Chains A and B, each alone.
Chain A
Amino acid sequence: MNATVGSPALRRDTERGLVAGVLAGFAARFGIDPVILRVGYVIVVVATGGVALLAYPVAWAAMPTSGGSPAPLSRVGGLPSIGGSWRIAVGVGLLTLSALLAFRELGIWWSDALVWPLVLAAFGAAVLWGRSRGGNGRPEPTAPAWRGAPGGSPPFESAGGDHETAAPARPSFADLYRGVFGILLVVGAALLFLTSNDILGGLRDAALTAVVVVVAIALILAPFLWRLGRNLALERAERIRSQERAELAAHLHDSVLQTLTLMQKRAADPREVAALARRQERELRDWLAGDGRRTAEPSFAAALRSAAEQVEDDHRVAIDVVVVGDRELDAHTDAVLGAAREAMLNAAKHAAAPGPIRVYAEADEDTIETFVRDHGPGFDPAQVGDDRHGVRDSIVARMNRAGGRATIRAAPEGGTEVGLAIGNDGAPRESGSA
């Protein structure tokens, strides 16, 4: 065999093949005209009295197709894709069968009525034991890793978050197949032993009668049982829906209705009402997005939102936060979070009135970029007095110490925009806006 890396793999060529593409596959593999190969094969078949014809279905069974379909032999047992461990088991079983047949031919044999039922029973028991141990090699399903941060703008969340779904842990079709197959093998072995040793004898008629009666009863009861099962499933689904409705009603009563009552009582203070509405909005977003559970994992997005919420609560201002992507907390995220918090504080103190403060952040494993924009009157950083340390130390110097960069500029539509950028190597990615 002189297969080289560059030569095509041996596959059935179903497009150019006349029957199943076996000879066309061989021709493509070895660079021979398929017509020559076909003529040669016909000559060999005639010369061997038709014996060589058997090679064709064997090759068909062993060869995958050029279209990517696996070899039919790989679907031994009726499974769509047979695993390596199953192939090993089937291979060992076939070799054992071969050895048993050889012993039988050599005369080293007890009795067909004893050996074959024993072999079948052993095989069935092995299948059942393998299933009960659960050693099917499948990895355990992982919990969904929801990385989108709660409370942000839904479009940005869908753009930046991963949507991983975890398959529920339940017995697969292969497990069921194995179980039924093993039981059938053991039962078949027992029946074969009883029949071949003529132990069933007079019981055979009674057993046949019992089987017929059971099948008849099953056919009669099948519609009722099927309807009963369907009704049970519908009832269960309705109960789940009812529980969900009750849970939703309880949540609305505990949170939304209480907040609305509070807002009516404090209607004279617009900022307090706005703050209550914002807090309730955050809670509802968290509840809807996270099914009532806040993420416990510390991350940049969660910390930035937490800082914004704290500024909102302390200063009764509205801060819109949009975070695309996320990353774990480290020295770089700490610097950006500290500077962003200071920028939000400045905006809340000096520029909150005309409109909400907007925070936009992009974070990945390499870079973080954050922009804090307000709609205030703006200011000139050069005119800030030496005794004011907020912008100079808490924002600019903090970012410089971490190897990042802070820029402060007048926003085109008015107000001020603080841009914060940092990269893992200290050099932030070039950005046109910061």
Chain B
Amino acid sequence: MRTDPVSLASGAAIAALGALVLLDSSGALDVSLGWIAVALSAALGVIVLVSGFAKDDSGRQD
């Protein structure tokens, strides 16, 4: 059993982003465009950061 940390982090970040947008569109939450930008940049940052660390680890194994 092997989990890919990049896929895991990407999936979690995108799921969280989707949940936020879903809550906003359903009316449960009133999320402004500014907070959407906060969430979007945070999700992208997490994905890119984790993929960067994963690339560094794979580089050391070579």
Binds B, one of A95-103, A331-339, A380-388, A410-418: A95-103
Residue in A4, A10, A83, A88 whose CB lies within 8 Å of B53: A88
Q: Pick the contact of A94 from B7, B8, B45 — CB < 8 Å?
A: B45
**What residues of B have a CB within 8 angstroms of the CB of A91 in the complex?**
45-52
B48 to chain A: closest residue by CB = A91
Q: Does B1 contact A (CB under 8 A)?
A: yes
Shortest distance from the beta carbon of A266 to any chain B beta carbon, whole Å: 61
Tell whether B16 is near chain A: CB-to-CB under 8 Å. Answer: no
Docked-complex contact B56 and A88, CB < 8 angstroms = yes
Is A51's CB under 8 angstroms from B22's CB? yes
Q: How far is the CA of A88 from the CA of B47 in the complex (A)?
A: 10
Q: Is the CB of B48 within 8 A of A90?
A: yes
Counting chain A residues whose Cβ lies within 8 A of the other chain, the interface size class is 35 or more
Residue A52, interface by CB 8 Å = yes
For B18, the closest partner residue in chain A by CB is A55
Contact present for B34 and A105 (CB under 8 Å): yes
Report A85-126 CB contacts with B as 1/0, cut-off 8 Å.
111111111111110011011000000000000000000000
Of chain B, the residue at the smallest CB distance from A93 is B45
Within the complex, what minimum Cβ distance (angstroms) separates B34 from chain A?
A: 5
B2 and A3 contact, CB distance less than 8 A: yes
Interface size on B, residues (CB 8 A): 35
Is B29 on the interface with A (CB-CB < 8 A)? no
Q: What's the minimum C-beta distance from B12 to chain A, rounded to whole angstroms? A: 10
B60: min CB distance to chain A, Å? 10
Q: Which of A361-409 contact B (CB under 8 A)?
A: none
B3 touches A1 (CB 8 A): yes
What CA separation (Å) do A76 and B44 show in the bound complex?
11
Which of A55, A59, A95 is within 8 Å of B45, CB to CB? A95
Q: Decide if B11 touches A88 in the complex (CB within 8 Å).
A: no
Q: A55-B14, A88-B52, A98-B38 are in contact. Are A4 and B46 (CB under 8 A)?
A: no
Query: A94 vs B50: C-alpha distance in the bound complex, in angstroms?
Result: 12
Tell me whether A95 and B56 are in contact (CB under 8 A): no
13 pairs, CB–CB < 8 Å, chain A vs chain B? A1-B11, A49-B25, A54-B18, A62-B14, A73-B47, A85-B56, A86-B52, A87-B49, A90-B48, A97-B41, A97-B45, A98-B38, A101-B38
